Amino acid sequence: MITEHVLFFYMLGVGLLAFIFHEIDDRSKDVLPTEYSKLASPIERRLYNALVLNGYCVQAQVKCGPYRIDLVIGKLAIECDGKESHSFPSQKAHDRKKNAYLRKQGYKVMWISGNSIVNRMPGV
């Protein structure tokens, strides 16, 4: 009798784990290839993976007016940028205009440097 109960709960546990892993696998097939394939740089991919693994629903390369947002979570626009591409005065001016435009559209804008993503990921 006890053996039957142990076997029953063992099989129930195995079935539950199989179901959970199947569901996780199905969700990743639907979301990851479409969003992940849109990512433009290794730092975007690294941050995207960290956010998804922490349960966030992340959209990649979202068009907003004349601009493109690297990553979006709800109304949070996340820009992942390498230092070298945003150190020129013309690029800084473009970034300020983009930031102002996105704020007018209701986004909270967060700029994260590539250095922070690579070297300080848990704290980002």
Sign (positive/negative) of CA torsion 37, 43, 44, 47? positive
**Tell me, what's the pLDDT at 124?**
57
d(CA 52, CA 8): 35
Average pLDDT (93-110) is 94
Short-list 57, 44, 38, CA closest to 118: 44
Domain 40-124 is in which class?
alpha beta
Average pLDDT (11-20) is 59
Return all residues near 109 (Cβ < 8 A) that are at least 6 apart.
Answer: 77, 79, 99, 102, 103
d(CA 124, CA 117): 7
Domain coordinates in residue numbering, the chain: 1-37, 40-124
pLDDT 10s digits, 27-75: 444 445 678 788 888 889 989 988 988 899 999 999 999 999 999 999 9
pLDDT 10s digits, 35-48: 878 888 888 998 99
